[in-house]
Structure formats: structure tokens, C-alpha cells
């Protein structure tokens, strides 16, 4: 019962599986979290010109990195009478270590120092009223369940050391917005519909399509335009889930500075409609897991937005990327794993898995040059060892192909990770 209650905080998929099983005997206060520690070795150049001048970096030396991709603390409380709340605070890549120090070597001068990069994000902060299993209203900062990874972003919900690259490139991931959600479960069906602030087209770019569009460099999130998101899950066969999800919103002129364009302007009437459609599935048994997804996105007025974004370099200090953005983007992936300890009655698991990713973050609008390196294919093989259900030790080898074969250098790498996801009572 405890894990069911806390999973309400974690992800929409967790809500779908557990919301209708929580009884009045469940703890009112729940605490949990998840985290990842990673070492990786990359056998290719990390130079910013490795795509522009590929031949120069063909024999570049390898380099290693350590990382804390996510460290998350979750709190939830059941107030009773159908009212509950949930929070999720995430420290990405170790958070931020900033301090003021007095330098004795420089005559007592005070200095501001950044000792470590990273981010701190409030990913969930909501209040919910539950009327019955098929009608619940949630308001506050919530996860947008579009795609497979946004709907299941815990490290124990995918095989790879890092979150799957395709969805993590073309969409915000984990995608979280301040809005309102209506959700429920009827039989083998679960639905969710959300009203949210629209993405900001000024932050779109060629390498990540709309990935940065939900960010805001300000103390508030511009919401001149609104958007809608929805998800539908079916679980009518034991172990199988089939899901459709989508998003649509008007994203042009949704920033701190809005402009009224006259009828003579090329931007008059531009809307920047972002539409995303996604299908994903998962099948799980004791000895076998298979998961996959396909996402396709379209950006209206992509040519106008690309022109405007590149021209905004004249605005001093603005936070925009100043690149073109694709009219379309897509990604597809599939992964399958076999539990090599499936024959035993032990709770330990050893998954041998393989994965394939293929995505393109930039399909240009008419009249714009293609960004060939934006298309990538990745083959991954590895192991996940679970000594207990809450802890996974991961190892993988991946080979990333960039653009058309032979155009750019391949990008092989290995990664090792220790991850956990736990739920417990205070």
C-alpha cells in the first residue's frame, strides 16, 4: 500500500497503475525519491566543430566523464476527504554549488564562485481532488505525459544508463508545466487531459527542435498562449500497455516581449502551432520486457520562426539560441530484454537487453538548408542487474551513427550507472 500511495507523486503511468488501489490504511505522509550516478567513456571528439570538419577529428582521443544526472526527493500527503498533494524536487547533474569566498591571496577581496554546474528544478508541485477512480482533478506543477519517457522517467523504467536519447532530444524531458489536469481510470482504460501554457518558439533550435520551449529564463513562465495535452492508456491484456498521447499549442509570440505585427509584416497572422502525436507500448513479464515508441511533431510557420530567431541577435543579452528550427521532427525506438535469472525464484534480476533509436530533430521548412547531423541512429547493448527491486546496476555499449553513413564519424561510448528508486514512510 505504501508504494502505491507514493507512486502518485512519481509519474502519470504510476498514477494509472496505483491510484485506484490506495486504501484508507495507506500512510498519510509518504517520502521517496530516485537517483543515478554514472561513469561514461566516449571514443570520439567532443569538439564543437566535429560535424563541420569531421575529417579533422577522426582519430581524436577518448575522454571520460562522471555525472549525477538526476537526484530527486519526493513528498506526498493525503489530507483526507479526497484531497492530496505531491511534490518532486530534482537536482540535475549535481545541482549548483555557488558561494562567496574571501581570497586571502588577493588582499581579502570577496569573490563569487561557481564550483559546480547543474540545475535545481521543481518538477511537480500539485494539489488534487479525487471524486472517484474515474474523475480526479489536479492543479499546480505537473508532468506532461506525452511520449514514453515523460510518462515513465524513473531510472528503473528504462534499460539505458541515461534517459532514451530520441525523446530526450526533440521534446522537453521530463516535461513539466504549471496547469490543470483531469484524469481517471475506467476498466482497462486510463485517460488524462491537461490545459497548459504553450511552448515558447523563441527557444526552439535545430539540435533539439522544441526541447527547450518549456523553459523560461525569467522568474515566471510566459503564458500568452495556452496549449492542450492528452494521453490514453489501455491495459486489457496482462502485462501489456498500449498508449496514445499528444500535444497542440500556439507557440509564436509567447514570450516576455510580445509584438503586434501590422498587416504588412511577414509575421502577421503567424501562430507557430506545435502539434505532437505519440504512440508507445510496453510488455512485461518475469522473464521478458519489450518497449517501444514513435513520436512525430510538426511546427507551423517554421520558416518565419527560423528567420525571426536568427534575426534576434541584435537584441543584447537575450537568452535565445538564434538558430533555425525544423518544420518537423520525429523519433522511433524499441528495446527488449531477457531476464537471465528468470528461471529462479529469487527477487534478483539480470536483464540482457538490446535497443535501437532513430531520430531526426531537424526536417527543414521549404527554402532552408537541411542540418544533416541532426539525424542519428543508435545501437545499444547492455546489462541491468537488480540485487533488490529498488536498485539497479547498469552497463552498456552504444554506437551512435550521425547523418548518412560515411558523412560523419561514428560516436561509440560505454556507460556504467548505479540507480535507485525507493518509497518509504517517514
pLDDT score recorded for residue 315: 62
Cα separations in angstroms, 122 against 9, 285, 296: 13, 34, 28
Rounded to two decimals, the pTM is: 0.89
Q: What string of DSSP letters covers 280-300? A: EEEEE-SSEEEEEEEEEEEET
Nearest to 33 by CA among 123, 95, 140, 161: 123
Rounded-to-integer distance, Cα 305 and Cα 323, Å: 10
Output helix, strand, coil percentages for the chain, rounded to the nearest 5: 15, 50, 35
Dihedral class, residue 24 (left if φ above 0, else alpha if ψ from -120 to 50, else beta) = alpha
Cα separations in angstroms, 212 against 170, 202, 282, 305, 401: 9, 9, 27, 15, 24
pLDDT tens per residue, range 13-70:
443 333 333 344 566 899 999 999 999 999 999 998 999 999 999 999 999 999 999 9
pLDDT score recorded for residue 426: 52
pLDDT score recorded for residue 18: 38
DSSP class of residue 199 equals P
Beta bridge partners of 303: none
Q: What string of DSSP letters covers 223-288? A: -SSEEEEEEEEE--STTEEEEEEEEEEE-TT-SSS-----TTSTTTT---EEEEEEEEEEEE-SSE
pLDDT score recorded for residue 22: 38
Is 418 within 8 Å of 395 (Cβ atoms)?
no
Cell 525544423 belongs to which residue?
326
**Is residue 174 reached through a cis peptide bond, with omega within 30 degrees of 0 on the bond before it?**
yes
pLDDT score recorded for residue 256: 86
Q: What is the dihedral of CA 138, 219, 116, 99, to 10 degrees?
A: -120
Domains of the chain: 2-96+112-424 (2.40.160.10)
pLDDT score recorded for residue 109: 61
Cα separations in angstroms, 376 against 94, 172, 299, 332, 408: 28, 18, 20, 11, 11
Question: Which sign, positive or negative, has the C-alpha torsion 231, 75, 149, 202?
Answer: positive
Measured in residues, the chain has a length of: 426
- Cell output for 346: 529469487
Rounded-to-integer distance, Cα 113 and Cα 96, Å: 11
- Cell output for 127: 494539489
pLDDT score recorded for residue 16: 37
pLDDT score recorded for residue 103: 53
pLDDT score recorded for residue 197: 96
Is 231 within 8 Å of 192 (Cβ atoms)?
yes
- Can you list the residues of the chain whose pLDDT is less than 50? 1-24, 104, 106
Amino acid at each position: 500500500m505504501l508504494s502505491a500511495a507514493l507512486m502518485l507523486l512519481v509519474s502519470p503511468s504510476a498514477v494509472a497503475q496505483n491510484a485506484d488501489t490506495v486504501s484508507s490504511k495507506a500512510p498519510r505522509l509518504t517520502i521517496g525519491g530516485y537517483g543515478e550516478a554514472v561513469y561514461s567513456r566516449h571514443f570520439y571528439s567532443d569538439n564543437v566543430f566535429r560535424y563541420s570538419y569531421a575529417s579533422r577529428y577522426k582519430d581524436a582521443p577518448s575522454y571520460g566523464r562522471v555525472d549525477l544526472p538526476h537526484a530527486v526527493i519526493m513528498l506526498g500527503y493525503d489530507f483526507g476527504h479526497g484531497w492530496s498533494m505531491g511534490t518532486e524536487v530534482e537536482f540535475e547533474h549535481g545541482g549548483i554549488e555557488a558561494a562567496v569566498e574571501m581570497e586571502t591571496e588577493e588582499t581579502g577581496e570577496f569573490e563569487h564562485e561557481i564550483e559546480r554546474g547543474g540545475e535545481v528544478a521543481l518538477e511537480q508541485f500539485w494539489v488534487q481532488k479525487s471524486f472517484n477512480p474515474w474523475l480526479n482533478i489536479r492543479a499546480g506543477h505537473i508532468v506532461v505525459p506525452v511520449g514514453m519517457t515523460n510518462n515513465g522517467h524513473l531510472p528503473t523504467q528504462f534499460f539505458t544508463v541515461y534517459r532514451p536519447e530520441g525523446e530526450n532530444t526533440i521534446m522537453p524531458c521530463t516535461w513539466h508545466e504549471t496547469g490543470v489536469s483531469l484524469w481517471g481510470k475506467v476498466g482497462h482504460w486510463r485517460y488524462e487531459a491537461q490545459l497548459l501554457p504553450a511552448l515558447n518558439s523563441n527557444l526552439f533550435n535545430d539540435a533539439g527542435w522544441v526541447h527547450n520551449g518549456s523553459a523560461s529564463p525569467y522568474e515566471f513562465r510566459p503564458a500568452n498562449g495556452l496549449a492542450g495535452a492528452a494521453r490514453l492508456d489501455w491495459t486489457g491484456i496482462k502485462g501489456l500497455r498500449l498508449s496514445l498521447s499528444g500535444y497542440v499549442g500556439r507557440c509564436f509570440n509567447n514570450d516576455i516581449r510580445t509584438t503586434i505585427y501590422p498587416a504588412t509584416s511577414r509575421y502577421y497572422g503567424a501562430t507557430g502551432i506545435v502539434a505532437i502525436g505519440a504512440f508507445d507500448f510496453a510488455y512485461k513479464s518475469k522473464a521478458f520486457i519489450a518497449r517501444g515508441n514513435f513520436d512525430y511533431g510538426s511546427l507551423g510557420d517554421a520558416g518565419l520562426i527560423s528567420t525571426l530567431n536568427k534575426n534576434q541577435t541584435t537584441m543584447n543579452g537575450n537568452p535565445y539560441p538564434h538558430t533555425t528550427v525544423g518544420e518537423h521532427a520525429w523519433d522511433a525506438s524499441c528495446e527488449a530484454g531477457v531476464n537471465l535469472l528468470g528461471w529462479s525464484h529469487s527477487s534478483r534480476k539480470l536483464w540482457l537487453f538490446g535497443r535501437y533509436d532513430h531520430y531526426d530533430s531537424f526536417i527543414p521548412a521549404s527554402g532552408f538548408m537541411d542540418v544533416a547531423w541532426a539525424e542519428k541512429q543508435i545501437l545499444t547493448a547492455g546489462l541491468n542487474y537488480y540485487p533488490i527491486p529498488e536498485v539497479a546496476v547498469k552497463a552498456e555499449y552504444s554506437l551512435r551513427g550521425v547523418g548518412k553513413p560515411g558523412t560523419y564519424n561514428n560516436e561509440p561510448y560505454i556507460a556504467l550507472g548505479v540507480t535507485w528508486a525507493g518509497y518509504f514512510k517517514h
